[in-house]
Amino acid sequence: MEEPGLREIGCELRVLSRSDGSASFLQGDTSVLAGVYGPAEIKVSRELHDKATIEVILRPKVGLPAIQEKSQELLIRETCESVVIGALHPKSSITIILQIVSDAGSLLACCLNAACMALMDAGLPLCFLFCGVTCALNADGHLTLDPNTKQQKESRAVLTFAIESTENKVLTVFSRGTYSTTELQQSIAVAQIAAQKIFTFYRDSVRRRYSKS
């Protein structure tokens, strides 16, 4: 059994004046601000001769990043590395800074969506778009899409998928808790349907942005 529907989503592009691309993304009461900087020069010790070096910095609402933020940074970076055509910008850096504004559940999915919209706003070359979708499973196997904080706390497993736009494939998975193979497949199927709605929202947002220009 699944509880249908994404929470209301919203996005504003070009919200940071000093970045090369930026986006403020909202899912329900969860909000993340993303800024993209680069391609820019990089220290020789960190440069890659055949592609751009991508760095992701996830800043909590208050305080310093903890282990959870660092593990989420890694997943977001791996997702972005699989999408950005870095070979067009060798020996340079692309930095994505994500600031958590409010966390009311499904935070990692919101971070992924903010990152993708900011990359689009920066005009960087992408193989395809990507989005994040979170699913929660409770004790009796009930699946909730895009769970809020309360629903996540009451669940035995939370899975966040990064999904690409061309073939609807899963790029990366971040999970906690226990779940069966069947539940994983069910969660992927629900997430893939939700992803199509998010990609439609992306395109509508960009269309509105450029129709105003």
What percentage of the chain carries pLDDT values higher than 90? 75
Better-predicted residue by pLDDT, 50 or 149: 149
Which two structure tokens, joined as six digits, stand for 13? 């592009």
The rounded distance, in Å, linking the Cα atoms of 98 and 168 is 25
pLDDT digits (tens, 9 = 90+) for 143-184: 999 999 999 999 999 999 999 999 999 999 999 999 999 999
pLDDT at residue 194 above 90? yes
Domains, in order of start, for the chain: 2-212 (3.30.230.70)
The residue-averaged pLDDT of 106-134 equals: 96
pLDDT at residue 66 above 90? no
The rounded distance, in Å, linking the Cα atoms of 210 and 139 is 46
The rounded distance, in Å, linking the Cα atoms of 150 and 154 is 6
Residue 35: Cβ within 10 Å count: 23
The confidence band for 3, taking pLDDT boundaries of 50, 70 and 90, is low
Instruction: Name the residue among 199, 132, 119, 197 with its Cα closest to residue 165.
Output: 199
